[in-house]
Amino acid sequence: MNSHAPNIRASIQPLEESAINRIAAGEVVERPASAVKELVENAVDAGATRVDVAIADGGKTLIRVTDDGCGIPPEELPLAIARHATSKIDGSDLLNIHSFGFRGEALASLGAVGRLTLTSRAEGHDAAELSVTGGKVDPVKPAALSRGTVVTLRNLFFATPARLKFLRSDRAEMQSISDVIKRLAMAEPSVSFTLRDVSGGGEGRVTFRADAVTGDLFDALRGRLSQVMGREFTDNAVPIDAEREGIRLTGLAGLPTYSRGAAVAQFLFVNGRPVRDKLLIGALRGAYADFLSRDRHPAVALFVDCDPQKVDVNVHPAKSEVRFRDPGLVRGLIVSALRHALAEAGHRASTTVAGATLGAMRPEQPHPPRVYQMDRPSFAARQTAYKAQAPGFADMQSSYSGRVVEVEERAPAAEEAPRENLPLGAARGQVHENYIIAQTEDGIVIVDQHAAHERLVYEKLKTQMAQNGVSAQALLIPDVIEMSESDSARLLEIADDLTRMGLTIEPFGNGAVVVRETPAILGEVNADALLRDILDELDDQGEARAVQDRIEAILSRVACHGSIRSGRQMRAEEMNALLREMESTPYSGQCNHGRPTYVELKLSDIERLFGRT
């Protein structure tokens, strides 16, 4: 017997209006943050230039949204809280949507599950107020308000107490509300937003504030993103501006070295609407797949703008998902635009790398830093100090004097011309057989030689692959590698792709394979270790990745075998050649896994380490 069917057939009858509204509220209003989203979107749609949000107890007891928009005439207030009544569309074209809201469900749903008060004043009308309690509508009455609208929602879910059990702590709900406000603030830089926590009564405290920003597209966007995401993000992001077949992508994308441990700094918008769309998130992951390991996530704020006819926003009641008419076009635009912008960044790495380095090496200062004399010694004093540190100091005592005389600094000879004016400076030494120390005009650069060369080899392999396949060199004596039959079968399945990478393998019976050619760029290579690494990459990828992504992932593993190994001593000309190649190679600021390949420390920061303030 079907446990879901009643024993006696019941007659079909329509639900009461209040029950319909409560059911609809379950889709539109999941938690206090959902209510805030709907109310703030209404305020922006009304042309508000300032939106103030007050919250008490995580939105459970009070949500109040005040705006200076166009307002609602008194005679239209009852319609405002009716289901499927809206001023934003006429219903003739559900694809031509230019506003945040259009379904006409929000106020009706909120009034069904809470105590809603709507106070508004439109130009040329007196202010009026309408209250709804658990779906019961009170008559419209006069009110006092200079302009705009104030929506007050108290005791959310009092009419559906079971929903209260699913809410999280006040702090967690307040954090969700803050995230909603921040996303909407990013979409509307010309609107001022204020979020205030008034728990306990009184004026409360401001937890978020973003004043209106003026200027052109990128100036306003950069200013607003600095307010919301922080100056650190905008300083370490590249601008995005690309268009293809009527679809435009703008925004800021963080450098790979400015990545996060979770996808908490990814903000995506479609025609100004904040969305969490699987297509866009997948495209973002694909764009950074070449630069970040799987446990790192990029920080971005991207805006997709297109003709409303090309995207359906009426997919979900909460309007958090969209459906594009040509998803492949949108995905291709995001991937190509991000990779092009990151390539133009060249060898640039995020400034946070240097900050983290300085923080790690900053000495403890229990007392105020001492102030030293002669923090900026003259050229003559420096020359004397150098001589004093050299062998044979006793021989120069007769001519040594404490008197300091300024002398004109002579330019070095042409053949000794310093190269510190280059972006990564001139190599001055190598420490621990892995780190190159270079001097720049205003600081020093520390380079991880293995990580840097790994990226350089990888980019060369990709370039060769795109042109006519990776150049291969035949082994004088083919190398036979023993492995399990399953492993050999997996490698032989992609033998054609490996051949394009300059790696030629053939079956040798009983699970073994024979390696006949290896990529020429790698020089002498351990073929056994190389094949094992490729198998590991196949395990990591699974079967979900596209063919090109799989090939590039394998190339990344191959590049590791052709890079300068840690522990190898390098001559000065080799170190400088590596620096010059980094300067001319895109993406060289991070290795294949998103870690920085170099750290730049300014001389002023180094001096602060030693108290030379």
Percent of the chain with pLDDT over 70: 76
Is 242 buried (19+), middle (13-18) or exposed (0-12) by CB count in 10 A? Answer: middle
Q: Give the list of residues 6+ apart from residue 46 with CB closer than 8 angstroms, or none.
A: 67, 69, 70, 71, 148, 149
Mean pLDDT of the 125-136 span: 91
508-539 in b/e burial notation, b at 16+ Cβ within 10 A? eeeeebbbbbbbebbeebebeebbebbbebbe
**Residues constituting the chain:** 613
- HSE toward the beta carbon, residue 213, CA cutoff 13 A: 20
Crossing angle (nearest 10°) for helices 32-45 and 106-113: 140
The CATH code for residues 217-345 is 3.30.230.10
User: Residue 386 — very low, low, confident or very high, per pLDDT cuts 50/70/90?
Assistant: very low
**Assigned architecture for domain 17-210:** 2-Layer Sandwich (3.30)
What pLDDT is recorded for position 494? 85
The two tokens of residue 336 are: 């190509």
Contact 507, 513 (CB under 8 A): yes
Is 546 buried (19+), middle (13-18) or exposed (0-12) by CB count in 10 A? Answer: exposed
The CATH code for residues 346-362+419-613 is 3.30.1370.100
User: Residue 353 — very low, low, confident or very high, per pLDDT cuts 50/70/90?
Assistant: low
Mean pLDDT of the 248-276 span: 89
**pLDDT by residue (tens digit) across 448-496?**
998 888 888 888 888 887 787 788 888 888 899 998 888 888 888 888 8
Entry pTM: 0.68
Residue type at 422 in one-letter notation: L
207: enclosing H helix or E strand: strand 205-210
What pLDDT is recorded for position 23? 55
Q: Give domain limits for the chain.
A: 17-210, 217-345, 346-362+419-613
Mean pLDDT of the 23-39 span: 77
**pLDDT by residue (tens digit) across 95-129?**
555 455 555 577 888 888 889 999 999 999 999 99
pLDDT exceeds 90 at position 566: no
What pLDDT is recorded for position 103? 54
Mean pLDDT of the 568-572 span: 86
Q: Which residue has the higher pLDDT, 192 or 591?
A: 192
Whole-angstrom Cα distance, residue 328 to residue 310?
13
**pLDDT by residue (tens digit) across 164-202?**
888 889 999 999 999 999 999 999 999 999 999 999 888
Where helices occur in 264-309 by DSSP H, the ranges are 278-288
Whole-angstrom Cα distance, residue 150 to residue 41?
13
Whole-angstrom Cα distance, residue 174 to residue 198?
11
What pLDDT is recorded for position 18? 63
Q: Which residue has the higher pLDDT, 608 or 132?
A: 132
Taking CA atoms, 517 is separated from 21, 317, 331, 426, 603, in Å, by 70, 58, 36, 37, 48
Residue type at 73 in one-letter notation: P
Asked if the domains at 17-210 and 217-345 fall in one CATH topology, the answer is: no
pLDDT exceeds 50 at position 392: no
User: Residue 17 — very low, low, confident or very high, per pLDDT cuts 50/70/90?
Assistant: low
- HSE toward the beta carbon, residue 459, CA cutoff 13 A: 20
The two tokens of residue 602 are: 């300014």
Residue type at 595 in one-letter notation: R
Q: Give the list of residues 6+ apart from residue 349 with CB closer than 8 angstroms, or none.
A: 255, 257, 589, 590, 596, 597, 598, 599, 600
Is 473 buried (19+), middle (13-18) or exposed (0-12) by CB count in 10 A? Answer: middle
What pLDDT is recorded for position 342? 87
Q: Give the list of residues 6+ apart from residue 333 with CB closer than 8 angstroms, or none.
A: 242, 244, 247, 249
pLDDT exceeds 70 at position 404: no
- Direct distance between the N- and C-terminal alpha carbons of the chain, in angstroms, rounded to an integer: 84
Whole-angstrom Cα distance, residue 134 to residue 153?
11
Crossing angle (nearest 10°) for helices 17-28 and 106-113: 110
Mean pLDDT of the 348-367 span: 60
Q: Which of 70-74, 351-355, 551-555 has the lowest mean pLDDT?
A: 351-355
Q: Which of 58-62, 145-149, 183-187, 318-322 has the lowest mean pLDDT?
A: 318-322
DSSP 434: T
Q: Give the list of residues 6+ apart from residue 85 with CB closer than 8 angstroms, or none.
A: 79, 104, 108
Q: Which of 52-56, 199-203, 321-325 has the highest average model confidence (pLDDT)?
A: 52-56
pLDDT exceeds 70 at position 378: no
User: Residue 266 — very low, low, confident or very high, per pLDDT cuts 50/70/90?
Assistant: very high
Q: Give the list of residues 6+ apart from residue 121 with CB closer than 8 angstroms, or none.
A: 71, 127, 128, 143, 145, 146, 147, 148, 149
User: Residue 563 — very low, low, confident or very high, per pLDDT cuts 50/70/90?
Assistant: low
